[in-house]
Structure 1
Amino acid sequence: MEQLNANVKSEVDYSHFEILEKGLGKDLIMVGRFNVPLRLAPIAHRIYDIYGDITASSTQSDCGAKPSYILFCAAIKEMDDLKLDQVNETKILLWRDAINNAHNLQFGVGFAIKHLKRIARAYIGFKAMKRKSNTKDMLNNKDGFVEDCFREAKYFLGKPLSIGLFH
């Protein structure tokens, strides 16, 4: 969990997202301020419809902000496509980097940061449930953290990781 809050250089790139590997500049559609790849449009529309223009508070030019917006949408799209048993720590940290890039440009992405922390707790809980060992002792149950992890794991199990993000 500490790694989610780490202030580290972002390592995320378009190549980390399968949806961005092909035809990034083709079949674009305007959503809010940006032309986004058609495959990201449904997610961009959902974000816009529920949270408004998350880029409105950014002082970056559209040209400077667009790459971070595209990476942010790609991260949310992956959350929508994947289930808890399909992610790993590397994927979660790439999502963190994409979300933090947007956050550093003053995009209104607090909802995504909060949701990613839920996913991380669920991931920890899921891994612990799979081990079925002395998990509570192993994770040092401070302030109910272990129970939170198990609760989040049960909540996300078998569902898209975007569940609860768009409400």
Structure 2
Amino acid sequence: MDLVVVLRKVSGLMDLVVVLWKGVDDAVHVSEEIDEVGNHCLSGEVADFLKEFDAKAPNPHPEQYFWSFNGPLVPFGDFWVPNDCSPYLSRLSAGHSDFTKGFKLSIGLGGPMLSLLGSVLAAMDESSLEDVTKTQILAWRSVIQDLMDVGFDLGFMIERLRQTAQCLFGKRIADEIKALQHQIALLQDSLAELTAYQDEMMSTGRMVLRSERSGSFLDSLPD
């Protein structure tokens, strides 16, 4: 084989290795930059959300926006609420005593407000971290804030919603970490293959050069 042709082939293959290697290196840098930007964006999003969560925001939604109760009225403490709402309120009061004792308004107004609370509890009960949104959490928070303003002792629910939001962002972070780990594994596999390919090409190039040096250029010419 002509020495010039051989050298050109080896050189071309080595150039390919360099290009591919550079591509992997660039991909790593791009991944790092995306990771850094993503982290900054996500941390900023968390900070903005918590700031909005702590702000006062009156609830603009009717009860049906969260959940609809259609049962007949039954007593709940001193108030009257739909019978299909009562189980949610009972579950809440079972763990937190009587959260209604500080209510500041009339008994007649308390029933509809408790029904609104029950609709939020029902919506929360039907939600999970897989499908809950920041908008839902903020809407629930607004209802709780309004009910606290009229004397219902629901501070523990605000803390629960805050924890839910933290879990929501925690899940997003875990999902992003998992995706990044997958990308890193792919890059590491590609890098290992390219390293092996580079070693093979360099070894082939050295063998070809030794073979060509064993004789003169004229020796390789046909008789």
Is TM more than 0.5 here? yes
Q: How does 1:3-42 map to 2 (within 5 A)?
A: 3-18=52-67, 20=68, 23=70, 26-42=71-87
In 2, distance between residues paired with 1:39 and 1:86?
Answer: 24
Paired AA for residue 111 in structure 2: K
> Matched residues in 1 for 2:119 and 2:78: separation?
16
Say yes or no: does 1:131 pair with 2:176: yes
Q: Percent identity?
A: 24
8 Å contact kept, 2:88–2:118: yes
Are 1:106 and 2:151 counterparts?
Answer: yes
Q: How far does the alpha carbon of each residue in 1:94-123 deviate from its partner, in whole angstroms, 9 at most, with x for none?
A: 110111111111111011111111001111
Where in structure 2 are the equivalents of 1:49-68 lying within 5 Å? Answer: 49-68=94-113
CA drift of 1:85 comes to 0.8
Greater Rg by CA: 2
1:73 aligns with 2:122: no
**How does 1:124-163 map onto structure 2 within 5 Å?**
124-132=169-177
What number of residue pairs does the alignment pair up? Answer: 130
CA contact (8 A) 1:65 1:105 kept: no
* Matching residue of 2:142: 97
Q: Which amino acid aligns with 2:127?
A: L
Distance 1:93-1:80 versus aligned 2 partners, 3 A rule: same
Separation in 1, partners of 2:126, 2:58: 26
Q: Which has the higher helix share?
A: 2
Instruction: Name the SS of the counterpart of 2:84 in structure 1.
Output: helix
Amino acid at match of 2:102: S
| 2:103/2:152 contact within 8 Å kept | yes
Which blocks of at least 5 consecutive residues in structure 2 are unaligned? 1-49, 181-223
Q: Which amino acid aligns with 1:28?
A: L
**Greater displacement, 44-53 / 100-109:** 44-53
- Is the Cα–Cα contact under 8 Å of residues 30 and 36 in structure 1 kept in the other structure? yes
CA contact (8 A) 1:58 1:105 kept: yes
User: Structure 2 CA distance, aligned partners of 1:70 and 1:4?
Assistant: 23
Instruction: Note the C-alpha offset of 1:42.
Output: 1.2
Q: What is the CA distance between 1:39 and its match in structure 2?
A: 1.9
* Structure 1 residue 11, shift from structure 2 partner: 1.8
Measured in 2, the distance between the counterparts of 1:101 and 1:43 equals 19
1:48 to 60, 78, 93: 93
Give the C-alpha shift of residue 16 in structure 1. 1.1
Instruction: Give the aligned CA root-mean-square deviation in angstroms.
Output: 1.9
Deviations 1:33-66 (A, max 9, x none): 2222222221111222322221211221122233
